[in-house]
Structure 1
Amino acid sequence: MRSIRAAAVGAVTLSLVLAATACGGGSSSGGGSNDSPKELTYWASNQGASIEVDKKVLQPELDKFEKQTGIKVKLEVVPWSDLLNRILTATTSGQGPDVLNIGNTWSASLQATGALLPWDAKNFEKIGGKDRFVDSALGSTGVEGQDPAAVPLYSMAYALYYNKQMFADAGITKPPATWDELVATGKKISKDGKWGLGAEGSNLSNNIHQVFVLAKQHGADFFTADGKPDFTSDGVVAAVKQYVDLMAKDKVIAPGNAEYAQNQSLSDFAKGKTAMVLWQTASATFKTMGMKDDEWGVAPAPVPSGTPGAGKATNSMVAGINMAVFKNSDNLDGATKFVKFMTSDAEQKLLNKAYGSIPPVKAAQSDPAFNTQATAVLRETLATSAAALPQVPDESQFETAVGTAVKELFADAANGREVTTESVKEKLAKAQQQMPNK
C-alpha cells in the first residue's frame, strides 16, 4: 500500500512520498535478460514520490552492492498499479526478475503459485538467520506452517495523524482514542468547508486494511479457520458499515473522498482541509507537502474502548514490503547475496530511515531514528496491537473483491444513496461469489 516517506540517504537528503521467473529467458514485461551470473534484475515497488526519486534512493545502494560483490543489479521501479499484475504474469510465463518487492499481504497468494523461492532454514541461514527478524513481520511472509515465500524488508503500521491547529481551533485538547470520540471530534470540525477525517474510498488496498481492522474489533474474520471466505457474517457486515458510515451517516468524511485513490486525502490534510487521517507511516508525506513536524501529531488508531492491544483491540494490520526471489533464477546465489545485503543491519537502518518505515530486523531498530514522534507509535503498534491480514492463497482476490465492494458503498454514500445493513451484506455476498473457493 502506498504511503509517503522522507529521509536522508548518504549525503543526499530526499523528501519521499510512499505509499506489496528468472531472467534466463528474458522478460516480455520488462525484466530484461540475465545471461551473466554477475548480473541480477530487481523489481522494486514504488516507495518514493516518483520512480525517479526511488532510483535516486536505491541506485547508490545497488552500486555499493556491486562494489562489494561484483554483481551488477539492473533496477526497475514498478508502480503499485502495475506491480501485482506484472508479478502474476511473471509467475505464469517464467519470465521476470531475479529479485522483487511484494506487498506483504500478497505473500500467501504468490506462494501458492509455486514460483517463489521458499525461505527454509538453510536459505535463512545464508542471510544471517530467521531469528534476526521481528515475529510480526514474519507473520506476513506466507501461509502458517510453510516455509516463508519472502523476507521482510520494510515494516509499517497504521496510526491516527491529526492537525494540531485545526484541533485547537475547535477546542479539542487531545486526539480521540475511541471511535465514538473520533466521530464526535470529526463532527465538531466538519463545517465551513473543512472535514474531520480523510479517506481513500477508491483505494482498494486501503479499504481492505481499514475494514480488516474493524472486523477484528467486531470479533470477526473474513475467512474461516480452514481458509474459506466468510464475508457476510454479522461482524464483517457491521465492520464495513461502520467504516462507510463515517461518510454516509456520521458525515465526517467529505463525499469527494469516495473518488480518492492516490494519496489525495493526505494532500487535503497537509493543506488544512481535513483534520485527521488514518494512514500507515505518513510522517514524510507531510514534510513533502510542506507541513512542519510541529504542525501535526500522531496517536494510535482508534479502538472501540480501552486501549489498543490484541484481539478486539487490534488497531492496525501488519503493513509492509517483503523481498522475494524467483526460484528459477539462473543466479540464485547472487540473488541470495542481494537479499542478505538489503536486510543487513546497516542497509535496514539506511533504507527504513529513507522511507520513514520501521526495520523488520531487530538489531536495526535500536537506532534512535526509530524512536521519534513519527515512529514510536508505529513501533508500539507493530509490537502489541497489529494483526497480519489473512495468509491464504486467495488473499489477492479478497483484496480486489472486498475492496471494490467498499468502493461501491462509498460511491453510494457520496451520491446520497442509503447505506443499510442489507445493502452492505448484498455487496459482500457479491464479493464472496467472486472468490475461487466459495
Structure 2
Amino acid sequence: MRKAEKEMTSLTRRSVLGGSLGLGTVGALARPYIANAAATTAEMWWGQGFAEEEDISLKKIVADYEKASGNKVDLSIIPFAPLRQKAVSAITSGVVPDIMETADLEFAALQSWDDKLLDVGDIVETQKKDFVKIAVDSSFLYNGITKKRGYYMVPLRITGWPFHIWRSLVEKGGAKIEDLPKTWDAFLDFFMPVQDNLRKQGIRNIYAYGYQLTANGVDPIATYNAFMIAYGGKDLVTPDGRLHTDDPQVRAAAAKAIERLTTPFKKGYVPPSCVNWNDADDNNAFHSKLMVMDFDGTISTEVAVFKKKEDYNDIVTMGLPLGNDGEPLPAQIITNGAVIPKGAKNVAPAKEFLKYLAQPKLLNEWLKGGLGRFMLPVPELVQSDPFWLKEDPHRKSYAELTLLGPSMPIYEVYNPATAELNGEHAFSVAMFDVMNNGMTPEQAIDKAFKRAEAIFAKYPIQQA
C-alpha cells in the first residue's frame, strides 16, 4: 500500500432497459450541477484505490469541480483499512470531516441507527430516477432515534463478488475454462482436481481456492453470505429487518455454507495463511499465483495488473454460476457512497460537491477513469457506453453480475444489527470453531445464531 496522501484539490436485462428511460439525452447529462454559492472549502476523506488510476480520476473530478465552482475540496486519500478506523474515531470524538466515504459494510448502517449522519435525501432525489433501484434502496437506512428510515448515504457506485480465475493455471492443471460447470457445487468442485494435477507435476505452492477464511475486513463476510445464499439462506434477514434463525431452510443453508468453506481448507485446498489475511491479501496472493481461483469483491484483482497485459488477459472474470437447482442466484450488491456526519462544519459546500459528483455523466467519467473497478449504478449509461459491456471481458462479466442479473442488498440495509454481528465476524468465528475446535457446522451455527439473536434484540425495527 502507498502511504496516505493529502491533496487540495431483481433486475433483468429487459427491466434495466425499460426502467432507464428517464435519464434523458447525453447533452442533458453533460451539464454539470454547480450552484452559485460563496467560495468555501469542504473537507473530504476517501479510500485509496487499488490502482493509481482510481486516485488520479478522483483528483481530476475534484479539480474540475473546483475550477467550475470556485469552491475547494480538501481531499485526503487514505488506505481503506486505516480509513475505517479513522472514520469511527472521528464520529466518536465529534471532530469530523464534511464528507466521508463509507469504507465498509457496517459504517453507514450503524451511524444511521445512532443518528450520527445528516439526511441527504435532497441530494439523492436529484438523481434518483436514473439510478438502479438497489443503489437507492441501499441508501435508505433506519434511524434508531427517529424510528424511521431516511437517505443517510449518497449512492455513487456498486459492487458484487465475482470469481477471478487464472486460465493458464487451469490449463496447466489439465482442464479448460470452457469446461467449467454451470451450477454452484459442480463449479466449485472443478478446481480441486486442478490442484491435484498440479501437485502430481511437483508444484506444491499453488492452491485451488483463495477463500477468505479470516476475521478481518469485508471479504469473509461477503464470501460467507454468498455461500449461504447459494444454499437457500437468503432470508436470514428479510426486508422488514427481522432475523430468521428459526427458519429450518436458513439454518440448513448456513451450516452448509460453513461446511463448503471449511472442508477445502481442512483438506489442503486453501492456503493455510488465509486465516490471517486482510482484504488485500487474497489479491496479493492471487497475483503471485498462489491460487487458481479467488472469490473477491469488485474487479480490483484485475485493475491492479491492468498495465501487465499478459497477466490481465490471463485472468478470467466470472459472475455467479447457477444454483444447484439450475436457477439464477441473486448477487448480494454492496452500494458504496458518501455520508455527511453530524458535526460537519461546512455542510453547504459538502452538499454542493456531492450533488455535482452524483450526476450520472460525471460518475461515469470518474468510474471509467478508475478502470471500472466499481460499477456505475446508472443502467442506461452502462448499456449505451461501450466501455462497460463491449470493450473488456472483465468489465462485461462484472456488469452482468452487478447490474443485469438478479440481486439483493446486503443485510445491513435491512437492519443495522447485521453490522454489529458482522463487526464481530460471528460467522468467521463459526468457521474457526469447525476448523480448529472440533465443532460440526451445525454446532457452530447454533452458537453463531444465538449470538445473532442477542444482537438483533437490541435493534427493533418499527414497520411503516
TM-score above 0.5, yes or no: yes
**Is it true that 1:182 corresponds to 2:187 in the alignment?**
yes
**Is it true that 1:41 corresponds to 2:43 in the alignment?**
yes
Deviation at 1:180, TM superposition (A): 2.3
Q: Is the 8 A contact 1:204 1:404 kept in 2?
A: no
The 1:235–1:47 alpha-carbon spacing in structure 2 relative to 1, beyond 3 Å, is farther
Q: Is the 8 A contact 2:208 2:293 kept in 1?
A: yes
SS in 2 for 1:323: strand
Spell out, residue by residue over 1:250-300, the C-alpha distance to the aligned partner (whole angstroms, 9 max, x if none).
643232222222433223323333111112222213436775332121222
**Is it true that 1:208 corresponds to 2:221 in the alignment?**
yes
Q: Aligned letter for 1:387?
A: M
**TM-score when scaled to structure 1?**
0.79
SS in 2 for 1:428: helix
Spell out, residue by residue over 1:88-122, the C-alpha distance to the aligned partner (whole angstroms, 9 max, x if none).
333344320111110473333221122222233x4
The 1:406–1:81 alpha-carbon spacing in structure 2 relative to 1, beyond 3 Å, is same
Q: What is residue 124 of structure 1 aligned with on the other side?
A: 124
Which of 271, 279, 292 aligns to 2:311? It is: 292
Q: Is the 8 A contact 1:160 1:278 kept in 2?
A: yes
Spell out, residue by residue over 1:294-337, the C-alpha distance to the aligned partner (whole angstroms, 9 max, x if none).
2121222234325563xxx22x3202421122354343331122
Map 1:26-37 to 2 at 5 A: none
Q: Is the 8 A contact 1:43 1:77 kept in 2?
A: yes
Which of 156, 169, 172 aligns to 1:169? It is: 172
**Is it true that 1:368 corresponds to 2:386 in the alignment?**
yes
Q: Which runs of 5+ in 2 are unaligned?
A: 2-37, 143-147, 459-464
Q: Is the 8 A contact 1:40 1:98 kept in 2?
A: yes
Q: What is residue 6 of structure 1 aligned with on the other side?
A: none
Say which is worse superposed, 218-227 or 385-394, in terms of deviation.
218-227
Q: Aligned letter for 2:68?
A: Q
Q: Aligned letter for 1:47?
A: G
Q: Is the 8 A contact 2:175 2:194 kept in 1?
A: no
**Is it true that 1:389 corresponds to 2:410 in the alignment?**
yes
Deviation at 1:236, TM superposition (A): 4.9
Q: Percent identity?
A: 18
Deviation at 1:132, TM superposition (A): 1.9
The 1:37–1:331 alpha-carbon spacing in structure 2 relative to 1, beyond 3 Å, is farther
Q: What is residue 227 of structure 1 aligned with on the other side?
A: 241
Q: Aligned letter for 1:267?
A: N
Deviation at 1:124, TM superposition (A): 3.4
Alignment RMSD, CA only? 3.1
The 1:163–1:114 alpha-carbon spacing in structure 2 relative to 1, beyond 3 Å, is same
The 1:104–1:256 alpha-carbon spacing in structure 2 relative to 1, beyond 3 Å, is closer
**Distance in structure 1 (CA, Å) of the matches to 2:181 and 2:263:** 15
Matched positions, count: 392
Q: What is residue 17 of structure 1 aligned with on the other side?
A: none
Q: Which runs of 5+ in 1 are unaligned?
A: 3-35
The 1:132–1:367 alpha-carbon spacing in structure 2 relative to 1, beyond 3 Å, is same
Map 1:11-410 to 2 at 5 A: 38-49=40-51, 55-103=55-103, 105-106=105-106, 107-120=108-121, 122-125=122-125, 128-143=126-141, 146-173=149-176, 174=178, 175-191=180-196, 192=199, 193=204, 194-202=206-214, 203-220=216-233, 221-223=235-237, 226-230=240-244, 234-248=251-265, 251-282=268-299, 283-287=302-306, 291-305=310-324, 309=328, 313-314=329-330, 316-353=331-368, 354-355=370-371, 356-365=373-382, 366-371=384-389, 372-382=392-402, 383-390=404-411, 391=413, 392-401=415-424, 403-407=425-429, 409-410=431-432
**Distance in structure 1 (CA, Å) of the matches to 2:280 and 2:298:** 13
Say which is worse superposed, 367-376 or 80-89, in terms of deviation.
80-89
**Which consecutive segments of 4 or more residues in structure 1 shift more than 6 A?**
none
Q: Is the 8 A contact 1:161 1:279 kept in 2?
A: yes
**Distance in structure 1 (CA, Å) of the matches to 2:417 and 2:84:** 13
The 1:199–1:291 alpha-carbon spacing in structure 2 relative to 1, beyond 3 Å, is farther
